[in-house]
């Protein structure tokens, strides 16, 4: 079965789907996106993802194209038409199509909306999680407003590729103070020697991950202690456990950071428990 995507008001086969070469997303990366997990055909944490989408749009002053209810219907329709049981749905909104000029296009230019969906191999994900993943650390070379989920992801792409070339799954980005901000497409967490969870507090230097936010509830339910603060590369290397969070992998244990084996080299107990219970605390709609 061929894939169906939603492009500016129409559901079309992927191979026939087209956007203009003058889409501002294409020319300026002038747009935002969201990635939402699909599990058993339902959207995970849709409400929070769409709320963040609205925030990103507002930060960039991109007009609202439709209500969140209408957008939710499109997301579901794309999931349904692609028969995605477990996977992800991707939504991208750009400032629209206009002659290439840096200032905003004329008032009334309609934002462009693209929605795609694809399956994820849950069993393969579980196998990766059972082993844990490696991460490398790299300088954070992104712009100063990565709290906006912008489609401008070049530094993230380069960092991820560097990780892959070094046999790692993710790159943890390091700010000028030697503190880790987040992963190239995930939030970064460690567990210290006392069993306390540490993740960077929210500011303009990281994305306010939805998985991160929901995980706070899981942590509370487990009676674990949590500190929201930036941690150093050194602390990460010495951590008892580490993991990353994102919509597409929930809680993914980290077992190596650069050349340092974390814990005993296997996924930690806390990361594993949080992964196991994550979906009990997420909203499925
Ligand atoms: N990435 N930080 C960055 C830079 C991200 O790109 C992501 C998500 C996260 C985690 O956010 P959330 O828990 O809301 O997924 C943190 C998505 C999955 C992506 O770009 O594919």
Q: How far is ligand 1, taken at its centre, from the CA of residue 186, in Å?
A: 5
Is the pLDDT at 260 greater than 90, yes or no? yes
**pLDDT score for 2:** 86
Domains: count for the chain: 2
Domain boundary among the residues 100, 120, 140 is at 120
Q: How far is ligand 1, taken at its centre, from the CA of residue 21, in Å?
A: 27
241 and 140 share a domain? yes
Residue 265 structural domain: 125-280
Is the pLDDT at 1 greater than 80, yes or no? no
Phi, psi (deg, nearest 5) at residue 113? -125, 125
Is the pLDDT at 54 greater than 80, yes or no? yes
pLDDT digits (tens, 9 = 90+) for 80-116: 999 999 999 999 999 999 999 999 999 999 999 999 9
Phi, psi (deg, nearest 5) at residue 136? -115, 160
Domain boundary among the residues 65, 87, 120 is at 120
Best residue for ligand 1 mutational test, from 31, 34, 35 (most atoms within 8 Å of Cβ): 35
Q: CATH number, domain at 139?
A: 3.20.10.10
Q: How far is ligand 1, taken at its centre, from the CA of residue 247, in Å?
A: 7
Ligand 1 pocket member 152 (CB < 6 A): no
**pLDDT score for 22:** 97
Give the model's confidence band at 235: pLDDT under 50 very low, under 70 low, under 90 confident, else very high: very high
Domain boundary among the residues 120, 155, 182 is at 120
CA atoms within 13 A on the CB side of 178: 6
Is the pLDDT at 277 greater than 80, yes or no? yes
Q: Is residue 285 part of a domain?
A: no
Ligand 1 pocket member 245 (CB < 6 A): yes
pLDDT digits (tens, 9 = 90+) for 179-233: 999 999 999 999 999 999 999 999 999 999 999 999 999 999 999 999 999 999 9
Tokens (6 digits) for 212: 């991160």
The average pLDDT across 12-34 equals: 97
Task: Answer yes or no: 160 catalytic.
Answer: no
116 and 137 share a domain? no
Give the rounded percent of residues in the chain with a pLDDT score beyond 90. 99
Q: CATH number, domain at 47?
A: 3.30.470.10
Report which ligand 1 atom has the smallest distance to the Cα of 248. 18
The average pLDDT across 31-47 equals: 98
The average pLDDT across 58-78 equals: 97
Q: CA–CA distance from 42 to each of 12, 51, 87 (Å)?
A: 22, 18, 10
pLDDT digits (tens, 9 = 90+) for 150-176: 999 999 999 999 999 999 999 999 999
């Amino acid at each position: 079965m061929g894939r169906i995507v939603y492009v500016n008001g129409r559901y079309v086969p992927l191979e026939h789907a087209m956007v203009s070469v003058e889409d501002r997303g294409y020319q300026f990366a002038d747009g935002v996106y969201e990635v939402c997990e699909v599990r058993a055909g339902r959207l995970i944490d849709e409400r929070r993802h769409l709320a963040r989408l609205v925030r990103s749009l507002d930060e960039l002053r991109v007009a609202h194209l439709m209500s969140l209810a209408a957008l939710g219907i499109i997301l579901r329709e794309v999931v349904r038409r692609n028969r995605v049981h477990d996977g992800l749905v991707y939504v991208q909104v750009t400032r629209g199509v206009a002659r290439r000029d840096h200032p905003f296009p004329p008032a009334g230019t309609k934002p462009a909306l693209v929605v795609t969906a694809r399956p994820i191999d849950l069993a393969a994900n579980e196998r990766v999680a059972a082993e844990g993943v490696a991460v490398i650390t790299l300088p954070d070379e992104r712009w100063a407003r990565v709290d906006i989920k912008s489609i401008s992801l070049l530094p993230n792409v380069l960092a991820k590729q560097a990780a892959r070339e070094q046999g790692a799954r993710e790159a943890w980005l390091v700010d000028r103070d030697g503190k880790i901000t987040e992963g190239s497409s995930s939030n970064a967490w460690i567990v210290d020697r006392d069993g306390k969870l540490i993740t960077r507090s929210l500011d303009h230097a990281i994305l306010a991950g939805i998985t991160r936010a929901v995980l706070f509830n899981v942590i509370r339910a487990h009676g674990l202690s949590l500190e929201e603060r930036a941690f150093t590369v050194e602390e990460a290397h010495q951590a008892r456990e580490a993991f990353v969070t994102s919509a597409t992998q929930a809680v993914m244990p980290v077992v190596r950071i650069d050349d340092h084996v974390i814990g005993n080299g296997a996924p930690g107990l806390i990361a594993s428990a949080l992964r196991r219970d994550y979906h009990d605390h997420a909203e499925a709609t």
